[in-house]
Structure 1
């Protein structure tokens, strides 16, 4: 889309704004703000008239810069505490506490819901001044956030990022006329909706590819590669029929499990060596040759950790990750593991590669064998998990199945990579378009007027 520029520009003197239309004012963000009031957390809901919905940072839609329509949290807030805090459609919400490396604190979103609510103490409610178009300011703050304008106002406290809201609101923004604000908002609503639709298509494709990948693995490791092979009832509901010449054996009869541990963090002689030490954060790949953390030979000799051989299969047995997925990783080198992992060592009846694919194919069944482990974490019930009945083909057939699955999943993974790349490019395009429109690098007035006409 080729859009005209404004006829005349001036230097704003502000790095993130650059040159802006000559007729636009450059002022602090706080000029757009009528009031800014911190939220409140209140007490536990008790089923009376004090109960009210409470917007948390978790309810922010960070892609669309709005509050999600469903707010699941109720809190007990007295009438006195509610004064000046009730959210109304058109309010902006400023994230004051939280954030992290990927999403630093300081996100601003728009409250569009008609449901009365308050916001938590990690958020400030911004009421805009007269003549300020809420959706334009939503986009301007989004552009500022994408350019890192909020970072200078972040104060780090005990590992939690806190935003100095007064410092942030003293940052400079631009002030088009109310008509131009409305025109820019209409333009961006329309154009970002188009981009969002394209992103949604790619996200749908990624989900379908994930389903296809899992189905491909499951079919290969439970039905084999020969569609004409005689079949038999496995006697296991989730397996159904399997090739007649395959055995059905509990996991514990064809593999040995090894536990992990963490050497003392207080002993610096145990850390920074050349021995890989795996934890759940390393299990983002299917074949692991190195880890983020390393230990020394002294740590191994102390008994704080022990090595597992190359060709071991690592699984997570405890942690938050089990609430979402069941990663299975084949080790390419000897390494140590922490206590949240188990190393599955295949017997001579199993190849490591086939066992890895078999456990990935049975991930859904493994996740049926979880218990609550406290603080939102899950843990495998080990007796139940090691009793899972698995189909075991002859070794020669295991190699053929593993080779087939590698080729099939590689093709699917390449398609997924292309879809992820497309989403990244569309997201960059969306961000650049918003920044260009709200800072006047493009003049959208004629475009909006033409569509309206």
Structure 2
């Protein structure tokens, strides 16, 4: 049982804090200015007038319900939010920000029709309130401690990004230059500037045995045949979570091992992404019409093609060739089939694939370690906040000094 410090008090949130409603402010009604406009997920624009003091806690009411955002300056929270500033409480606002985060407001309820944070339910939550001086010490300590944790997390995320960039550059080099130094010949086709003199450049359609659109029927939560959709294609591989199903599929549209799927219709920054199917026809899996199946012929290894199809240069060019429409682009099979790709001899393709697979495994293993470290830091940050705002960790002069703060 947690022992409450003697000089702390326990009260329902509604006894000490008021959640004020944000105000309506449509995008067309915003004037040029420097006042941040907050929605439930953060800043959504600027305006010339604020409705809060400073600082302010903005709390998601609809949409990203329960999400907390901090503003150091006066702001304009819109009507999908609540807000708390110094007119809504006598507590230290920065301490209150941490205390509210410990309540997990984003998980406590949903309104009857639209997901949202019910203010009365939030008001019914109990909270421990330390004396104001303790609140200020806790806030200062958590600011310093969380800043250090956040900096460590940001550094690890940058490392992950650097590894992604390194992997992409090595793939790019391998699929256009090979693994060994070679005499190069100018090509100047699409995204390919030059290739080793013994390589060829061919259109995608020249390495295909077949190209097929997927099924265009409604899917259900249950059924006989799983259906892959565009969201299942991630980073060159297929993720099998959250599958829908159909009961009837032509046998010709069941996927076979080493088929490659590409996404023909999606947002401009996602269209064209591809993935290799590593299961067998016996798994009886089909695919939706927003995907196109490429069944490759003897001239190219499926894994080599998959590396090419997901390379930065190829994808960038392919997306420029897509036909734009409202919020989506379409890269039809005809246009995709006309794209140029490098074609090394098969033996060299094997060597390139083996090298890139080994490099990718190493990169992914390192990134996995970094992600676990991020998870550990994130969990520690949450635990630290909880301990401080519940009195399990008392913050005195020694703790402030350890955090680099003058007592």
What range describes the TM-score normalised by the shorter chain of this pair?
0.7 to 0.9
CA distance in 1, matches of 2:132, 2:85: 16
SS at match of 1:272: coil
Corresponding residue for 1:368? 320
SS at match of 2:175: helix
Corresponding residue for 2:256? 309
Alignment TM-score, normalising by the size of structure 2: 0.88
Q: Deviations over 1:209-260 (max 9, x none)?
A: 0001111111111111121x22111223632221111111111222242111
CA distance in 1, matches of 2:84, 2:22: 10
Tell me by how many angstroms 1:316 deviates: 1.5
Corresponding residue for 2:76? 118
Corresponding residue for 1:73? 45
Corresponding residue for 1:243? 196
Tell me by how many angstroms 1:348 deviates: 2.1
Alignment TM-score, normalising by the size of structure 1: 0.79
CA distance in 1, matches of 2:30, 2:93: 34
SS at match of 2:188: coil
Are residues 202 and 22 of structure 1, via their aligned partners in 2, closer, same or farther at CA, if it must alter by over 3 Å? Answer: same
Deviates more, 1:210-219 or 1:337-346: 337-346
Length, aligned pairs only:
396
CA distance in 2, matches of 1:126, 1:53: 16
- Say if 2:85 and 2:93, in contact at 8 Å, map to a contact too: no
From 388, 402, 423, give the equivalent of 2:374: 423
Tell me by how many angstroms 1:154 deviates: 2.4
Deviates more, 1:395-404 or 1:255-264: 255-264
Corresponding residue for 1:65? none
Q: Does 1:183 align with 2:133?
A: no
From 13, 35, 39, give the equivalent of 1:29: 13
Q: Does 1:391 align with 2:316?
A: no
Corresponding residue for 2:120? 166
Q: Does 1:254 align with 2:200?
A: no
Q: Does 1:299 align with 2:252?
A: no
Residue ranges of structure 2 left out of the alignment (5+ in a row): none
Corresponding residue for 2:110? 154
- Say if 1:277 and 1:291, in contact at 8 Å, map to a contact too: no
Deviates more, 1:235-244 or 1:412-421: 235-244
Are residues 331 and 417 of structure 1, via their aligned partners in 2, closer, same or farther at CA, if it must alter by over 3 Å? Answer: same
- Say if 1:25 and 1:176, in contact at 8 Å, map to a contact too: yes
CA distance in 2, matches of 1:156, 1:262: 34
Q: Deviations over 1:253-285 (max 9, x none)?
A: 22242111243347x9xx421x33111222236
Tell me by how many angstroms 1:179 deviates: 0.3
Deviates more, 1:357-366 or 1:162-171: 357-366
CA distance in 1, matches of 2:331, 2:3: 58
Residue ranges of structure 1 left out of the alignment (5+ in a row): 1-10, 12-17, 60-70, 77-81, 100-104
Q: Deviations over 1:180-230 (max 9, x none)?
A: 000000000111111111111101100100001111111111111121x22
Are residues 58 and 370 of structure 1, via their aligned partners in 2, closer, same or farther at CA, if it must alter by over 3 Å? Answer: farther
| 1:288-367 correspondence to structure 2 within 5 Å | 288=238, 292-293=242-243, 295=245, 298-301=247-250, 306-320=253-267, 322-323=268-269, 327-332=273-278, 333-334=280-281, 335-361=285-311, 362-367=314-319
Tell me by how many angstroms 1:48 deviates: 5.6
Are residues 211 and 23 of structure 1, via their aligned partners in 2, closer, same or farther at CA, if it must alter by over 3 Å? Answer: same
SS at match of 2:249: helix
- Say if 2:235 and 2:275, in contact at 8 Å, map to a contact too: yes
From 180, 187, 190, give the equivalent of 1:234: 187
Tell me by how many angstroms 1:319 deviates: 2.2
Tell me by how many angstroms 1:156 deviates: 4.4
